[in-house]
């Protein structure tokens, strides 16, 4: 049975029945989200966490280059740039980088040297400015943003207008409400649908619904990847960090250790592993590599 707070969109993803309005969201992200360590953001990261953050960016950037057929630097826009780690990594590799976000506090705290490249405000209005200016990007990075906005469909369509024909949209979302999650809930292994996070997350995607949404908004799915499937820990009572919140720290540490180990297998091997995970619907997050569909200009 579906949670009563959610309804199914025609493209298959789940969305809040009563989402907050746009002004409420803008204020929330500008005034509270990064400052109060909401979501996955922290005021401080350990060296191990920094290493894994950089590893994830490297793996996705390498996969994007492979799909583009070049590793030549170009122009990148990070929509919802968060703490600025992607901007910093790409700029270090010679790219022309820009970021937009509701708040600059994450960048100010973690990568203050990137403040020069970031504009703060409503994402939809800032994207309209990009379209009006005729901006075109080789890569648009959309890391854990779609689930936060009131209208992810309109966001995908807006970005479609600013990606070069040879470019890519790299879109990451939480992998939420999967059959595995529902099985855990129905069996009593978890006491609640932990993945419903209000007001942070307004929409909830799986592999199938992300692909369907992308295709309906003018994109062609070139590849889909999962990331480390920490949710597998929920199948064992000794590591079930939802039933026993005290297990959260050790689950997180194990995740960091295993992600680093997978990374040491090499970029190609790690990307093949994460692609296989998406193929069976696993991964705490999903990343879709999307190219403009030249036959569908909307």
Given this model, what pLDDT does residue 35 score? 47
Separation of alpha carbons 78 and 74, rounded Å: 13
Could you give the C-alpha distances from 173 to 162, 193, 249, in angstroms and in order? 20, 17, 22
Cα–Cα dist 297/23, whole Å = 30
Cis, peptide link before residue 147, omega less than 30° from 0: no
Point out which residues pair with 287 in neighbouring strands: 172, 225
Q: Residue 37's pLDDT is what?
A: 47
Is the separation of the CB atoms in 213 and 153 below 8 Å? yes
As a whole number of Å, the CA-based R_g of the chain is: 18
Which pTM value belongs to this model?
Answer: 0.94
- 102 alpha-carbon distance from chain centroid: 16
Sheet holding 6-8, edge to edge: 6-8, 14-16, 203-204
All residue ranges of the chain with pLDDT < 70 are 1, 29-42, 296-298
CATH architecture of 6-292: 3-Layer(aba) Sandwich (3.40)
- Residues 7 and 203: their CA atoms lie apart, in Å, by 9
pLDDT at 296 (0 to 100) = 66
Nearest to 110 by CA among 30, 11, 42, 22: 42
CB 190 within 8 A of CB 240: yes
Q: In sequence order, what are the residues at sequence separation of 6 or more whose Cβ sits closer than 8 angstroms to the Cβ of residue 139? A: 64, 68, 74, 75, 76, 77, 167, 168, 169, 170
Helix (H, G, I), strand (E, B) or coil at 80: coil
20 token code pair: 């907050």
Rounded to the nearest 10 degrees, the angle between the axes of helix 207-216 and helix 152-160 is 50
**Which letter, b or e, does each residue of 116-128 get, where b requires 16 or more Cβ atoms within 10 Å of its Cβ?**
ebbebebbeebbe
């Amino acid at each position: 049975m579906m949670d009563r707070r959610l309804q199914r969109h025609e493209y298959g993803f789940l969305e809040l029945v009563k989402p907050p309005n746009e002004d409420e969201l803008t204020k929330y992200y500008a005034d509270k989200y990064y400052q109060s360590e909401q979501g996955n953001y922290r005021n401080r990261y350990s060296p191990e966490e920094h290493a894994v953050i950089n590893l994830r960016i490297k793996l996705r950037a390498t996969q994007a280059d492979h799909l583009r057929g070049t590793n030549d630097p170009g122009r990148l826009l990070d929509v919802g740039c968060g703490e600025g780690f992607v901007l910093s990594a790409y700029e270090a590799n010679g790219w022309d980088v820009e970021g937009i976000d509701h708040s600059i506090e994450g960048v100010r705290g973690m990568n203050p040297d990137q403040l020069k490249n970031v504009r703060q405000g409503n994402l939809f209005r800032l994207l309209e400015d990009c379209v009006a200016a005729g901006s075109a990007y080789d890569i648009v990075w959309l890391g854990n943003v779609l689930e936060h906005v009131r209208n992810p469909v309109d966001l995908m369509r807006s970005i479609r207008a600013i990606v070069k024909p040879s470019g890519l949209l790299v879109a990451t979302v939480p992998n939420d409400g999967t059959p595995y999650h529902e099985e855990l809930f129905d069996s009593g292994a978890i006491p609640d649908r932990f993945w419903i996070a209000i007001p942070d997350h307004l929409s909830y995607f799986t592999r199938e619904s992300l692909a369907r949404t992308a295709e309906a908004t003018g994109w062609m799915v070139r590849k889909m990847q999962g990331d480390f499937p920490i949710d597998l820990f929920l199948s064992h009572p000794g590591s079930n960090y939802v039933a026993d919140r005290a297990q959260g720290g050790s689950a997180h540490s194990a995740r960091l250790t295993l992600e680093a180990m997978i990374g040491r297998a090499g970029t190609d091997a790690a990307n093949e592993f994460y692609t296989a995970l998406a193929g069976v619907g696993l991964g705490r997050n999903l990343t879709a590599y999307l190219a403009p569909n030249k036959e569908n200009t909307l």
